[in-house]
Amino acid sequence: MAWSFRGRVQLGGLLLSLLGWVCSCVTTSLPQWKTLNLELNEMETWVMGLWEVCVNQEEVATVCKSFESFLSLPRELQVSRILMVTSHGLGFLGLLLSGLGSECFQFCRSRWELKRRLCLLGGTLETSASATTFFPVSWVAHDTIQDFRDDSIPEIVPRWEFGEALYLGWAAGIFLALGGLLLIFSICLGKEDVPSPWMAGPRAPPPCVPAEEFNGSFYLTPRPRDQVI
C-alpha cells in the first residue's frame, strides 16, 4: 500500500495542524503568561494567565485565584481570551474539513474537486487559527516589554516578565501556519494516481466479462432483448 506524494504532504500538514492546535489549547489554559519575581522574597513567584493568577511558594504550596469579572481584566487579556478561543474553533474546524478532503479519507468515492475544496478550506482555516494565536500572544508580550521599560516606574518596583506560555503560544502559531500551508500546497500537486491505502483491494470482474479482459473499471452490460424476467 503506497502513499502518493500529495498524500504524504497532506498527512504532514494534518499532523502539524493537530500539534499546533493542541499546543494552542494548552497555552490558553496555562497561567504562566506573565511572571513576577519579588526581590524581597525570592521564594515567592507570581504568575498570571488569561483565567487566573497564582502564587508559587517554594516548598509550601501554589495558590490560584480565578478572575472574578471579565470586564475587570486589562484590555489585552480580554482580547486574548476571545482570540484564543476563536483560534481553537478555527483549528478544530480546519482539521475536520482538511481530514475529509485528504487522500486518506474515502467516502462513496468522493469527487476530486470536492475533496480539493475541502482541503483548501481546511488549510485556510488553519492559517487563520495561526494568526489568531500569534496576535494575542505577541500583544501580551509587547505590553510586557513596554511596562518593563517604563521609566516612570521606580527600579525597585518588581515588573512582569515573559512566561513559558508565551513561548508555547508562538510555537503553536508556527505549527498551525506550517500545517495550513502544507494543506494548501497539496492541492497544487494535481490528482493522485496512487489509490488510497484505505480503499485499495482486489475487485472481482463482472460475471459476463472474462477475467483476463477485466481492467478494474465498472460498467453496465446491456440486457439481451430476448431475455425474459
Task: Provide the pLDDT for residue 156.
Answer: 65
Domains of the chain: 5-35+70-213 (1.20.140.150)
Of 50-64, 84-98, 126-140, the poorest mean pLDDT is in 50-64
pLDDT band of residue 202 (cuts 50, 70, 90) is very low
Convert the pLDDT of each residue in 98-114 to its tens digit: 988 887 776 545 577 78
Q: Is the whole-model pTM more than 0.85?
A: no
Q: How confident is the model over 14-28, as a mean pLDDT? A: 95
Q: What is the pLDDT of residues 114-139, one digit of tens each?
A: 888 888 999 999 999 999 999 999 99
Encode burial over 129-162: b for 16+ CB neighbours within 10 A, e otherwise. bbebbbbbbebbbebbeeeeeeeeeeeeeeebeb
Give the 3-state secondary structure of residue 8: helix
- Compute the distance between CA of residue 42 and CA of residue 59 in angstroms, rounded to an integer: 12
> 169 pLDDT exceeds 90?
yes
Does 59 have pLDDT greater than 80?
Answer: no
